[in-house]
Structures are given as structure tokens and as C-alpha cells.
Structure 1
Amino acid sequence: MTLPTKDQQTELEAAAFRRLVSHLRNRPDVQNIDLMNLAGFCRNCLSNWYLDAAKETGLDLTKDESREIVYGMPYDEWKARNQSEASTAQQQAFEENRPKE
């Protein structure tokens, strides 16, 4: 087995990130609360991680800009188009499973 070089690893990770973002953009029917309940992260988490990485490299990116990168549009627009009200069951599951900081 040949392991990737550091540069190749970065390229592969970037490609996997782009594919994940594309997949999430093509599945607006999957609500963030469902992602949180099943996987422990959502689109907002992903945009926050992106923002953290940008800040670590000295890039002056805003939360709104990082969300637009992940959502493919302004967050408020995405919410208006795609976000539905969370059910009581979804909210309860979130409270039971939410990450403890």
C-alpha cells in the first residue's frame, strides 16, 4: 500500500469536503436537526469548522460567509426555502443527544 504524501492527503481531504458539501446541498430535505440527532453534526457545525480553519490560517472570514460556502446561498435564504419546524420528537432527541461542551 502506498500512503499519500502530505500534499496528496490535503488534496484528497479537500475533495472529500467538496463532495460532502455538494451532497448536503443536493439534500435540502435532510434537516439539520436530523443530522445532529443521527450524526452529531450538521451543516452549521461544518461551516463553523470551516470558519475555525480559516481563522487558524489568518483568513478574515465571517460566520455568514462560511455558512454561505457550505449552504451555497445565504443561510437565511436556505432556511426560508428548506427548513421546516422541528417536531417535538426531533427536539427531544436533540436535547437527549446534544453535544456536551
Structure 2
Amino acid sequence: MSKLDETTRTELEAAAFRRLVAHLRERSDVQNIDLMNLAGFCRNCLSNWYLDAAKQRGLPMTKDESREIVYGMPYEEWKARHQAEAPPEALSAFEVNRPRQD
């Protein structure tokens, strides 16, 4: 494969991001804790990374705004509609595997 120019690479990455976000919106049955336990990131992580990117560019954005971009609705609304109580075994696995903040 030939080397991609920076603009094309960015466009492809953006398209992949949009597809990931659309997929996560469609799969509201998949809980964030399950994503964290299996993949080491969740919708909140993705929205935090989006917020970090905005801040690095000097763009004004709040955590609530970045979460709404990822969730497709206000976070509190998504939680009320889709978030289930995490089973004890999922919480235990999360405590063992959660990313540590230095």
C-alpha cells in the first residue's frame, strides 16, 4: 500500500471514528463496564479523548458536550435509558483491570 498523505489519513481516521461512534450508539445494550473490562476503554473514555483533542486545539468544549457527541444525547438521558446495574463480577473485574491514574 502506498503511503497516505496527511489529509487522506486524517479523513480516513475521522471516518473510522464516526463509524465507531455510530456502532456504539446502535449497541446501547453493551454496557460501558463490559467495554472497559474487555477492551480497556468505554464511551466515556472516547468522549474524554475527544475533549482532550478539542482542548489541545484551544477549542471551547465541556465534558457534557463531548459526551453528547459520543452518546448522541445528553449523558444523563443515555444512562436513564440504557445503563443497567453492573453485576458484582463485572465490578470486581473492573477493580482488577481498571486503568490506573498516575
Q: So what's the TM-score if we normalise by structure 2? A: 0.98
Identity of aligned residues (%): 73
Query: Residue type matched to 2:24 in 1?
Result: L
Note the 1:12-91 alignment, pairs <5 A.
12-91=12-91
Distance of 2:14 and 2:2 partners within structure 1: 19
What is the Cα deviation at residue 100 of structure 1? 1.4
Query: Residue type matched to 1:80 in 2?
Result: A
RMSD: 0.5
Provide the residue aligned with 1:2 in structure 2: 2
Q: For structure 2, which runs of at least 5 residues remain unmatched after alignment?
A: none
Runs of 4+ in 1 over 6 A off after TM superposition: none
Q: Deviations over 1:65-98 (max 9, x none)?
A: 0000000000000000000000000000000100
Query: Residue type matched to 1:46 in 2?
Result: L
What is the Cα deviation at residue 3 of structure 1? 1.5
Counting matched residue pairs gives: 101
Distance of 2:87 and 2:100 partners within structure 1: 22
Distance of 1:4 and 1:79 partners within structure 2: 39
Distance of 1:73 and 1:4 partners within structure 2: 34
Distance of 1:29 and 1:43 partners within structure 2: 13
Query: Residue type matched to 1:96 in 2?
Result: V
